[in-house]
C-alpha cells in the first residue's frame, strides 16, 4: 500500500540520515555522527495541549520520515516527564516501542521486532479499545494499529509503513485523558 506523506507538524530540521546501529556512526557518541536531533524541550505530554508539545510533534515528524531511532529520542524526553499510569505515557511508550520495532526490522532482527511489536500492542491496544474513534493526543489509534500490524505482517508487501496522522486541531475531538 502506498501511503501519502502527511503534513509536517514542526519546522525543525530532519537529520541528514536515519541512524542505523551497526551501519552508521552513533549520532552523538561518535564525532562522525550527525549530532542528534534538533533540541526539543523535555516536557510532559498533556492530552489537552498535545498540539503545543514540540517533542511529541517532532517525534511524529521523525517517525513519518523513517527516522525511527531519532523519533524514539524525541518522544523519550516527553515520556520521562509524563506521569506514570497515564494514557499519555502509555501512548508515548507504545509509539516508542513501535519505532524501535521498525528500527529492528531495518536491522534484520526478527525476534526483536516481534518482542517490541508485542510490547507496543500491549500498550496501544487497550487505548484503542477504550477510545475507539476518538483521538488520543491527536491520534486515532484503531486505524493506525490495524495498518501497522498489516505492515509488520507483510500484508502490504511493499515495505511501506503507515504514517502517524494527527487530527488538524484539538477542536476535532482531542480526548481528555484521565
Say if 41 falls within a structural domain.
no
Say if 16 falls within a structural domain.
no
Say if 13 falls within a structural domain.
no
CA dihedral 55, 89, 128, 162 (to 10 degrees): 30
CA dihedral 142, 144, 45, 38 (to 10 degrees): 180
Say if 142 falls within a structural domain.
yes
pLDDT per residue as tens digits for the range 133-150: 999 999 999 999 998 988
Q: What mean pLDDT do residues 149-160 have?
A: 69
Banded pLDDT at 1 (limits 50, 70, 90)? low
> Which CATH number characterizes residue 114's domain?
1.10.3450.10
Find the angle CA(49)-CA(15)-CA(21) to the nearest 5 degrees. 105
Banded pLDDT at 30 (limits 50, 70, 90)? confident
Say if 28 falls within a structural domain.
no
Higher pLDDT, 104 or 22: 104
The three-class DSSP label of residue 26 is: coil
Banded pLDDT at 3 (limits 50, 70, 90)? low
Say if 17 falls within a structural domain.
no
Say if 56 falls within a structural domain.
yes
Q: Which grid coordinates are listed for 154? A: 507483510
Q: Compute how many other C-beta atoms are within 10 angstroms of the C-beta atom of residue 11.
A: 8
Q: Can you list the alpha helix ranges (DSSP code H) found in 4-109?
A: 54-64, 68-81, 87-106
Range of the domain at 132: 47-172
Q: What sign has the CA pseudo-torsion 77, 166, 8, 146? A: positive
Say if 22 falls within a structural domain.
no
Mean pLDDT (the chain) is: 87
Total domains present in the chain: 1
Q: Which grid coordinates are listed for 109? A: 532482527
Determine which of 33-42, 60-69, 78-87 has the lowest per-residue pLDDT on average. 33-42
Q: What is the pTM of this model?
A: 0.89
Amino acid at each position: 500500500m502506498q501511503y501519502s506523506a502527511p503534513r509536517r507538524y514542526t519546522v525543525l530540521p530532519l537529520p541528514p540520515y536515519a541512524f542505523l546501529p551497526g551501519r552508521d556512526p552513533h549520532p552523538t557518541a561518535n564525532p562522525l555522527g550527525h549530532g542528534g536531533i534538533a533540541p526539543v524541550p523535555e516536557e510532559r505530554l498533556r492530552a489537552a495541549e498535545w498540539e503545543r508539545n514540540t517533542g511529541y510533534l517532532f517525534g511524529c515528524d521523525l517517525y513519518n520520515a523513517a527516522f525511527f531511532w531519532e523519533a524514539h529520542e524525541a518522544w523519550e524526553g516527553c515520556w520521562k516527564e509524563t506521569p506514570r499510569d497515564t494514557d499519555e505515557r502509555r501512548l508515548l511508550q507504545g509509539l516508542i516501542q513501535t519505532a524501535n520495532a521498525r528500527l529492528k526490522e531495518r536491522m534484520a532482527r526478527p525476534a526483536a521486532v516481534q518482542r517490541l511489536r508485542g510490547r507496543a500492542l500491549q500498550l496501544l491496544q487497550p487505548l484503542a479499545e477504550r477510545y475507539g474513534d476518538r483521538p488520543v493526543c491527536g491520534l486515532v489509534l484503531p486505524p493506525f494499529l490495524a495498518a501497522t500490524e498489516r505492515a509488520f505482517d507483510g500484508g502490504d508487501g511493499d515495505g511501506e509503513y503507515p504514517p502517524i496522522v494527527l487530527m488538524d486541531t484539538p477542536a476535532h475531538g482531542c480526548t481528555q485523558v484521565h
